[in-house]
């Protein structure tokens, strides 16, 4: 299946329905990506107004989730899609709930930003937040881009990137725990940073789930719960 | 909102690029060999390199496939793809068409279907057929079912015949509905009942294979469900080949599905595979409704 595949049904209405699902999903993806970026900036610059805007945007993301789910249910009921159409609907429904969770994680980060702005900044951890934050933003952008282009190979890179994020997260955790032991007064503010890092790490996981759905949609192969190397083998295998 | 807009624009650009290149044209070419797994071990029927012609027009082009024992095989494809022609070749129904010629090898349990040793009447008892429109004889329900066994000398005595009629009607899921009016005309039944009567008639002669040519196309959804249930039950004792225009039906009733396209067998695979991730572009296009 490829990007050109859309818009070729004998039923033009069906084309439009699928097109609309895809448009809404991309709108949602765009919003969520923006949310992650804004939440991160809000945290790094202790800008609580910016953080408030992230929380505000959450409503639109939730609305879009419902709209897309309704559209998918409608297509399933009325069109009985098969093969690539069916896979697209399944992949989108699952990807959309991951997107919504990414939105939730951004809101958590925004809440941490507000707390930190109010109660004083953490002495440590901002470098790690910036670093991991940039990594997951990059992952998310690549994933959404690949979703638009039906680029399943890209999804493998994304899974690899997620492994890197997990490693960074663990090492950041270790150093922050050390700081907390050295200076117990910093515990409450560093905890806010740790929770934000945890949220970013979760964003990475959700993003890599979306990548797996992308592979299912394009190649019809279920690559959940397997290693990156196995994933590469699956994609190479012609059968 | 900017990023959302960007993605949508990127999506549009991507499809516009693809339109101008149109890289898929080549993929739509017929595969040299049927894709998937058309052959099985120890088949009930085996078909090798079969061509069917009407005068000079070739309706079936080098088709090879197996039909497994107690398997339900669905033949799907757009109108004029040759699926009915192929089905009718399986019990020599095409013999009655003068201009029709067949080349290749068709075997039923290793016996040559078109060989000189094959008795056509016996063949059609072993390979029964149910047609698109229910076509009961204008006789009683009882006679409709008893006709075949009597013709083939399978039941001599009255009580033997009674047994065959009852068991066939039971297998066809019709017995409870008609047991009190066996002497009434078969044509007085509803469409769905008539079709089940035709199924009872074809299984009364104890066939090995039942061919069904769009058996539900003239029926309402409830009657359709009944026939589909029946197909699942019958597959315990018979091998079934069904031609259907309803892809949902093929998906529901069959074990394997064969996709025909303009006389070529493009792909044959497990039904589940065909309907979730088919291997050939033509199959994909057909089952997702992309033919215009």
Give A232: exposed, middle or buried? Use CB within 10 Å, 0-12, 13-18, 19+: middle
Model confidence at B6, in pLDDT bands (50, 70, 90)?
A: low
Query: Model confidence over B47-66: pLDDT tens digits?
Result: 999 999 999 999 999 999 99
User: With an 8 Å Cβ cutoff, is B14 touching chain A?
Assistant: yes
Please give the pLDDT value at position B22: 44
Chain B, 218-257: which have a CB under 8 Å from a chain A CB? 247-248, 251
Interface probe, candidates A77, A83, A214, chain B, greatest B C-beta count within 10 A: A83
- List all residues of chain B from 15 to 44 with a beta carbon under 8 Å from chain A: 15, 18-19, 22-24
Residue B292 lies in a domain: no
* Partner-chain contact A82 B8, CB within 8 Å: no
pLDDT of B208 above 80: yes
* Least confident residue range of A202-211, B8-17, B272-281: B8-17
User: What domain range includes position A135?
Assistant: 3-236
Q: Give yes or no for a contact between A189 and A124, defined as CB atoms under 8 angstroms apart.
A: no
CA A85 to each of CA A91, A152, B24, B220, B289: distance values in angstroms, whole numbers, following the listed order: 10, 16, 17, 27, 10
Check whether B19 has a pLDDT greater than 50: no
Question: Cβ B290–A27 below 8 Å, yes or no?
Answer: no
Average pLDDT for residues B258-271, to the nearest whole number? 95
CB-nearest to B275 from A29, A83, A145 is A83
Q: Integer distance in angstroms from the first to the last C-alpha of chain A?
A: 15
In a 13 Å sphere around the CA of A196, the CA atoms on its Cβ side amount to 35
Structure confidence by residue, pLDDT tens digits, A136-163: 999 999 999 999 899 999 999 999 999 9
Say how many Å lie between the first and final Cα of chain B, rounded: 36
Size of interface A-B (CB pairs under 8 A): 94
pLDDT digits (tens, 9 = 90+) for A65-75: 999 999 999 99
Q: Residue B10: which of A83, A85, A145 has the nearest Cβ?
A: A145
Residue B268 lies in a domain: yes
Interchain CB contact of A6 with B (< 8 Å): yes
- Report the number of distinct structural domains present in chain B: 1
Establish if B276 touches chain A: CB-CB under 8 angstroms. yes
Q: What is the total count of domains within chain A?
A: 1
Which whole number is the average pLDDT over B205-233? Answer: 91
Residue B152 pLDDT = 87
- % chain B with pLDDT above 90: 74
The token pair that represents B111 in the structure block:
């016996």
pLDDT digits (tens, 9 = 90+) for A105-126: 999 999 999 999 999 888 888 9
Instruction: Work out the minimum CA distance from A175 to partner chain B, whole angstroms.
Output: 35
pLDDT at A3: 56
pLDDT, residue B24, reads 45
Domain of residue A158, CATH code: 1.20.58.220
A1/chain B closest Cα distance in angstroms: 8
pLDDT tens-digit readout, A88-110 = 999 999 999 999 999 999 999 99
pLDDT for res B42: 94
pLDDT per position as a tens digit, B246-262: 888 999 999 999 999 99
**Chain B contact present for A28, CB below 8 A:** yes
In a domain, B130, yes or no: yes
Contact B3/A at CB under 8 A: yes
Q: Which of B52, B95, B45, B63 is nearest to B207 (CA)?
A: B45
What is the per-residue pLDDT for B222?
87
Å from B276 to nearest chain A CA?
4
Question: For the residues B261-265, what does the mean pLDDT come to?
Answer: 93
For residue B23, is pLDDT > 50? no
What tens digit of pLDDT does each residue of A191-239 get? 999 999 999 999 999 999 999 999 999 999 999 999 989 988 888 876 5
Say how far apart CA A104 and CA A221 lie, in whole Å: 28
Q: In degrees to the nearest 10, what's the CA dihedral of B101, B105, B107, B112? A: 70
What pLDDT was estimated at residue A124? Answer: 86
pTM for this entry: 0.81
Average pLDDT on B105-109 reads 95
Q: B7 to chain A, minimum CA–CA distance in Å?
A: 6
Q: In which element (H, E) is residue B72 found?
A: strand B72-76
Structure tokens given for B274: 């065909």
In a domain, B232, yes or no: yes
CATH number reported for the structural domain that contains residue B162 in this entry: 3.40.50.300
Euclidean distance between CA atoms B89 and B49, whole angstroms = 13
- Residues of chain B with C-beta less than 8 angstroms from the C-beta of A149: 10, 14
Residue B5 has pLDDT above 80, yes or no: no
DSSP-assigned letter for residue B266 = E
Q: Which residue has the tokens 């190649």?
A: A219
Structure tokens that stand for B28 in this block: 């739509």
User: Cβ separation of B18 and A2 shorter than 8 Å?
Assistant: yes
pLDDT band at B292 (very low <50, low <70, confident <90, very high): very low
Are the beta carbons of B14 and A3 separated by less than 8 Å? yes
* CB within 8 Å: A148 and B11: yes
C-alpha span between B54 and B69 (Å, rounded): 30
Cα A53 to Cα B55: distance, rounded to the nearest angstrom: 75
Q: What domain range includes position B80?
A: 2-287
Give tens-digit pLDDT for A2-55: 555 666 788 888 989 999 999 999 999 999 999 999 999 999 999 999 999 999
């Amino acid at each position: 299946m490829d990007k050109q595949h859309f818009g070729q049904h004998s039923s033009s209405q069906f084309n439009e329905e699928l097109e609309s699902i895809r448009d809404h999903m991309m709108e949602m993806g765009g919003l969520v990506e923006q949310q992650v970026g804004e939440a991160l900036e809000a945290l790094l610059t202790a800008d609580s107004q910016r953080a408030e805007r992230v929380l505000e945007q959450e409503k639109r993301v939730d609305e879009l989730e419902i709209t897309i789910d309704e559209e998918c249910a409608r297509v399933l009921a009325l069109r009985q899609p098969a093969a690539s159409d069916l896979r697209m609907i399944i992949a989108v429904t699952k990807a959309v709930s991951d997107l919504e969770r990414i939105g939730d994680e951004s809101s958590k980060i925004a809440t941490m930003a507000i707390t930190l702005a109010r109660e004083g900044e953490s002495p440590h951890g901002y470098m790690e937040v910036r670093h991991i934050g940039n990594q997951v933003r990059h992952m998310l952008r690549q994933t959404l881009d690949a979703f638009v282009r039906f680029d399943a190979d890209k999804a493998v890179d994304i899974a690899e990137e997620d492994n890197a994020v997990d490693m960074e997260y663990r090492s950041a955790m270790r150093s922050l725990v050390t700081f907390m032991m050295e200076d117990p007064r910093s515990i409450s503010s560093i905890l806010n940073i740790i929770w934000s890092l945890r949220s970013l790490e979760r964003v990475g996981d959700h993003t890599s789930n979306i990548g797996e759905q992308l592979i299912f949609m394009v190649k019809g192969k279920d690559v959940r719960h397997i290693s990156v190397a196995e994933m590469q083998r699956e994609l190479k295998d012609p059968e | 909102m900017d990023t959302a807009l960007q993605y949508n624009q990127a999506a549009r650009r991507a499809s516009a690029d693809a339109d101008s290149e149109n890289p898929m044209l080549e993929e739509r070419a017929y595969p040299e060999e049927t894709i998937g797994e058309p052959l099985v071990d120890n088949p009930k029927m085996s078909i090798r390199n079969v061509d069917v012609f009407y005068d000079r027009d070739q309706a079936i082009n080098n088709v090879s496939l197996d039909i497994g024992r107690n398997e339900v095989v669905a033949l799907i494809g757009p109108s004029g793809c040759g699926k009915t022609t192929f089905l009718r070749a399986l019990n020599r129904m095409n013999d009655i068409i003068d201009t029709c010629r067949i080349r290749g090898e068709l075997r039923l349990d290793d016996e040559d279907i078109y060989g000189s040793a094959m008795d056509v009447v016996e063949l059609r008892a072993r390979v029964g057929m149910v047609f698109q429109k229910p076509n009961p004889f204008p006789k009683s329900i009882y006679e409709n079912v008893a006709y075949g066994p009597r013709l083939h000398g399978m039941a001599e005595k009255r009580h033997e015949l009674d047994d065959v009629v009852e068991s066939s009607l039971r297998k066809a899921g019709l017995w409870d509905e008609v047991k009190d009016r066996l002497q009434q005309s078969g044509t007085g039944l509803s469409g769905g009942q008539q079709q089940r009567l035709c199924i009872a008639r074809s299984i009364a002669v104890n066939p090995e294979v039942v061919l069904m040519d769009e058996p539900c196309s003239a029926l309402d959804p409830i009657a359709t469900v009944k026939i589909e249930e029946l197909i699942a039950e019958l597959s315990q004792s018979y091998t079934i080949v069904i031609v259907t225009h309803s892809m949902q039906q093929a998906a529901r009733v069959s074990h394997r599905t064969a996709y025909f396209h303009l006389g070529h067998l493009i792909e044959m695979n497990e039904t589940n595979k065909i309907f979730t991730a088919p291997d050939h572009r033509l199959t994909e296009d057909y089952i997702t409704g992309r033919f215009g």
